[in-house]
Structure formats: structure tokens, C-alpha cells
Amino acid sequence: MSEKSSNNPFTPDAGTFISHKDAHELVKNYMDQNANQKHTVTRAIFYGADKVRALLDTPGAVGIRVYYGLHPNPGIGQPYSKKMVLVAVDKDGYDIPGNPSKAPDPNASLAKGPDKGGYLDDGVPCPDQCPGQ
């Protein structure tokens, strides 16, 4: 197996901590773009530390990738709810249980990752759960 170059972006220290000011600007830009949905647009989704740690503890995981998703809401005013799907990623940038944007392989092992599914969903959305906001 060949050695990966030093500019591999899939490392345990990927990402950058930013200031409150920069975080505020990013969130404000998002809210401004969605001003017509101010009381219904999903602003954030909370995931518990135990679930996030379980993803990070997946054998071979060096980080987490977040996919955006939409859950259909038939018969409700909003046709979809915004969702996030979190998945453990290996050092080569591959989603450990498989890429969720591709149809599942029916022959693939189900024993990959936390709770045998390998994907984290059902975080707590804001709104409705937005203490202090």
C-alpha cells in the first residue's frame, strides 16, 4: 500500500476553531438568506456527546462527515424537515459504513459502526428546542 502524501485532508485535526464573531457572521448570513422562514427554518441540530463519541470510536475513524438531508412531511405545511446525517470517516476520506448518497449494497455487512447502522440522525432541532434563543 502506498504512503499517503502529507497534504491528505482526512486527519484527526481537520477543521478550524473560529471566533464567536466569525460564527455569528456565518449563522447570521444563513438566517438572512432564510428570513422569510424565520420561525420555521432549521437553525441548528444538537447531537449528544455519547453518540458523537460512538461515531468517533468506530474502528478506523479519524473524523466525522455531515451530510445534509430532507425528511418528507406529507400532510404538514412544510413539505420537508431539514436533517443532518453524521457518519464516521477513515484516513482516506471514505465513509466507513458507505456513502449515504449512494444506494446501499444489499450484500454489504451490516456490522459497521455504532449500533450496526453507522449513521447518526435524529438530533434535536432548533426550532423547536432552542433554549435561550
Every domain of the chain and the residues it spans: 42-101+108-133
Q: SS3 for 36? A: helix
| DSSP classification of residue 128 | T
pLDDT average, residue stretch 9-33: 93
pLDDT digits (tens, 9 = 90+) for 87-111: 999 999 999 988 887 877 665 544 4
Contact between residue 58 and residue 96 where contact means Cβ atoms under 8 Å apart = yes
Using only C-alpha atoms, what is the Rg of the chain? 17
pLDDT at 54 over 70: yes
- Distance in angstroms (rounded) separating the CA atoms of residues 6 and 1: 15
Give the helix ranges, DSSP H, for the chain: 20-33, 49-56
Model confidence at 118, pLDDT cuts 50, 70, 90, reads confident
pLDDT average, residue stretch 33-47: 84
pLDDT digits (tens, 9 = 90+) for 119-128: 999 888 888 8
